[in-house]
Amino acid sequence: MEQGVKHFCGIFGIYGDGDSAKLTTLGLHALQHRGEESSGIVSGNGEYLFRHTEMGQVADVFADETVMNRLPGHLAIGHNRYSTTGSDTLSNAQPFLAECRDAFVAVAHNGNLTNTAELRNGMQDDGAIFQTTTDSELILHLVARSREEKMADRIMDALRRIEGAYSLVLATENQLFAARDPYGFRPLCLGQLGDAWVVASESCALDIISARYIRDIEPGELIMIDSHGLRAFTTSEADRHAFCIFEYIYFSRPDSIIFGDNVDKTRRRLGRQLAIEQPAAADIVISVPDSSNTAALGYANQSGIKHEIGLIRNHYVGRTFITPGQDSRSSKVRLKFNPVRGVLNGKRVVVVEDSIVRGTTLKHLVRMLREAGARQVHVRVSCPPIVGPCFYGIDFQTEKELIASAKTVEQIREHLGVDSLGYLSLDGMLGVAPNSSLQYCTACFTQDYPIPIEHEAGKLILERRAGNLF
């Protein structure tokens, strides 16, 4: 993606394998693109839970064998974090672990809750003490305060009180739970590895450990896995579903199955439709690697314009979208990308981009393409203009961050310094989205929010309301 959006987090869980923690590190490796700020694992051996979290990427956090030796057991949950609420500090690293009456419970969360402030303020008035500034910790407090006897009932009790977007994995000393909000905003799938059960944000995390994809966990479903096997419960139902279309456009890996369909195929369809709606007279089509690679292939195939590799990405520099703060994003563009002069020199170039959020990265890239000899630069975007903040787990949470909220397409074209600019239409995007019977969340394009939100609810809202006590 062009810059600035960042999603979220990746979650993983496994039950029934003696190497659960090691398999979880592999799953987290496959989900590294969903968050690079911190990584953590909680494992369980039937009697105790063991936790390790650190700032940094999976390969660094779990490189030391002594760390892995401190994570024994037949079950584990893991989390890669990008902060959509709360700052990027170790205290906010997940999974979180707490004692809940007669058991310890750990939780890892992907998404954003929308009624956090209301619930948190009420619990603080009752004497609750929060250790972090994330909405995810709230879930543990609700489980701990539930008066239900069975853990599954306590979790369902908690889930019925929260609103917003969540895919969750939870663990006790001898049970694994996974849940998805009733709207289905964030993906979560179920797999099997021999006799072990696996859950993950994306199916690519199943592939890396040779687990078999079984199905998606349904919106509003809670699954419980223990020595008796797998059982499923319905926590609540919504009047509609709201699958995040941005998972297909940008965030998920192209080799993953999410919401029941392959991401790569969807991006190719988006590219083909973009070529139909927004043709360009050009010599070559290039992508902004990596998330727009397959959309560019679709555009080239449909248009008949030759596809070339015109930008090389340095994979040893973190995603501009995955590093908090606008300054760090813009400063990394030249470190992250380099133009291929022999491909670009003298050519009319179509640049296929998956989305434009703030415009910073793309403006720098256009300048680099022209410096490399591109005669014309035409940008084509495989989604509509982003005009509304996301409050369900993606890091564009104020309108002032969004270039399309304040500028027309022509003004954005001038700002970027390109010869032409074209976006895919909303109808065109939804027309090629998988499973036409599904309902998608398109709030960032339409400002039609499935769940009412507080527009104050930015990433650091809990720090602001706590007076920066953390």
Residue 279 φ/ψ, nearest 5 degrees: -70, 160
pLDDT at position 175 is 98
pLDDT tier for residue 132 given thresholds of 50, 70 and 90: confident
DSSP state of 227: T
- In this prediction, residues 433-438 reach a mean pLDDT of 82
pLDDT at position 332 is 76
Chain segment 248-273, per-residue pLDDT in tens:
999 999 999 999 999 999 999 999 99
Nearest CA to 242 among 201, 189, 182? 182
- 262-438 — its CATH code? 3.40.50.2020
If you average pLDDT over every residue of the chain, what do you get? 91
- In this prediction, residues 232-242 reach a mean pLDDT of 94
pLDDT at position 395 is 79
Q: Is residue 123 over pLDDT 60?
A: yes
pLDDT at position 382 is 99
Q: Is residue 460 over pLDDT 50?
A: no
Handedness of CA 90, 94, 98, 103 (dihedral sign): negative
- In this prediction, residues 304-311 reach a mean pLDDT of 99
Reading the block at residue 134, the tokens are 């994330």
Reading the block at residue 116, the tokens are 């956090």
pLDDT tier for residue 468 given thresholds of 50, 70 and 90: very low
Chain segment 29-59, per-residue pLDDT in tens:
999 999 999 999 999 999 999 999 999 999 9
Chain segment 279-302, per-residue pLDDT in tens:
999 999 999 999 999 999 999 999
pLDDT tier for residue 397 given thresholds of 50, 70 and 90: low
Tokens 């398999």 appear where? 23
Q: Is residue 470 over pLDDT 50?
A: no
pLDDT tier for residue 329 given thresholds of 50, 70 and 90: low
pLDDT at position 465 is 41
Instruction: Burial-class residue 439 by CB neighbours within 10 Å (0-12, 13-18, 19+).
Output: middle
Bond into 95 cis (ω within 30): yes
Chain segment 180-218, per-residue pLDDT in tens:
999 999 999 999 999 999 999 999 999 999 999 999 999
Fold of 9-242: Glutamine Phosphoribosylpyrophosphate, subunit 1, domain 1 (3.60.20)
Handedness of CA 129, 9, 66, 170 (dihedral sign): positive
Reading the block at residue 463, the tokens are 């720090």
Q: What pTM did the predictor assign?
A: 0.91
Residue 422 CA to chain centroid, in angstroms?
Answer: 26
DSSP string covering 77-94: EEEEE--SSS-SSGGG-S
Q: Please state the domain extents for the chain.
A: 9-242, 262-438
pLDDT tier for residue 82 given thresholds of 50, 70 and 90: confident
- In this prediction, residues 451-464 reach a mean pLDDT of 56
Bond into 290 cis (ω within 30): yes
* Residues recognised as catalytic: 9
Q: Is residue 433 over pLDDT 80?
A: yes
Nearest CA to 105 among 148, 139, 132? 139
